[in-house]
Amino acid sequence: MSSNPFALHVSLRSLSALVLSLLITGCTSLPSAPDEDEKPVIVLDSRPDPLSDAFKIAGVASPPVNEPGVVKTITDLPQTETEKPPALPENDLWQRIRQGFSIDHEIDRRRVRQEIDWFRKHPDYIDRVTARASKHLYYIVGELEKNNLPLEFALLPIVESAYDPFAYSHGRASGLWQFIPSTARLYGLKIDWWYDGRRDVKDSTQAAIDYLQKLHALLNDDWLLALAAYNSGQGNVGHSIRRNQQAGKPVDFWSIKVPKETQSYVPRLLAISEIIAFPEKYGIELKKIANSPYWIEVDIVSQLDLAKAAELANLTSKQLYELNPGYNQWSTHPMGPHRLLLPPPLW
């Protein structure tokens, strides 16, 4: 265990006392966080920040909301790991992602070139999604690597949600990975009054990986077909494949009939992947993202008032909620998950 002054040393007894003192005794429904209107296609909720109201409900004065950033210290809350993480050989997360690319970006395709042209003409959009992605990209890249998936999929939330965990579509899809309720529950995501696992970064990322792996296995081990099915449904893609097989036609993504949205969806991922691979070639200057964790997971053992958690962690309500968007109410879920994502201490 590290002796660093920023490391947290909380005994189980003192932790239990802290948690018991913060147990929630009432429930008040609160809406989701504010949205932005800058994403193409995605329609977001336009409801107020729930934690601003949570402070009022809990009887705690709300601190001023500042711009989100990495907080330098964390106090009073236990963290699951206190050892200093090993030094990484390369501090550029973009380069790590490039090294994990394994899908042909097919830049000779007209639809891919059209999407590349759109991104080239909108560098400010790339800057915005990069800023959002910087909070969660390190974690997502690590999970994709563990499961041997192409790192192009680390960019899929750009296409799905513009890397906004609060994104909500007309089709009731939600979160970074845009799960609809039925598919979310099928892949183990909890959705209830307290909590929506579609917005939880850890839970939804694992569900997306499981779903993509299943689609890949079912669709001829073809990642483009898997992507098409992720967007339009396995049944639609499977039907198109069978129709082409019966007609003696090819069954690759470019040959089958898919919905109009999917015709742009797959080329869009290939296009943003190509730009990330060769930003200078396309006149794009990428904002640097460090190859290190933006947050750590904290075990809170039991239900916890989010306003009090923000106060103890020296965060604003906005900062806490941006890292923990899965919680719908003014506290964590009484039945779990009993965790919070918080900025790491300085080592």
* Cα-based distances in Å from 69 to 26, 319, 322: 31, 8, 10
The DSSP output letter for 290 is: B
Are 114 and 51 in contact, with CB atoms under 8 Å apart?
Answer: no
The DSSP output letter for 326 is: T
Residue type, 266: V
* Cα-based distances in Å from 20 to 13, 14, 23, 25: 11, 10, 5, 11
Q: Which residues contact 287 (CB under 8 A, 6 or more apart)?
A: 127, 130, 131, 134
Q: Which residues contact 49 (CB under 8 A, 6 or more apart)?
A: 33, 34, 65, 317, 318, 321
* Cα-based distances in Å from 281 to 101, 151, 155, 284: 17, 20, 19, 8
Q: Return the ∠ at Cα 33 (arms to 204 and 264), rounded to 5°.
A: 55
Is residue 160 annotated as a catalytic residue, yes or no? Answer: yes
160, 274, 311, 322: the active-site residue: 160
The span from the CA of 193 to the CA of 195, in Å, is 6
Instruction: List the catalytic residues.
Output: 160
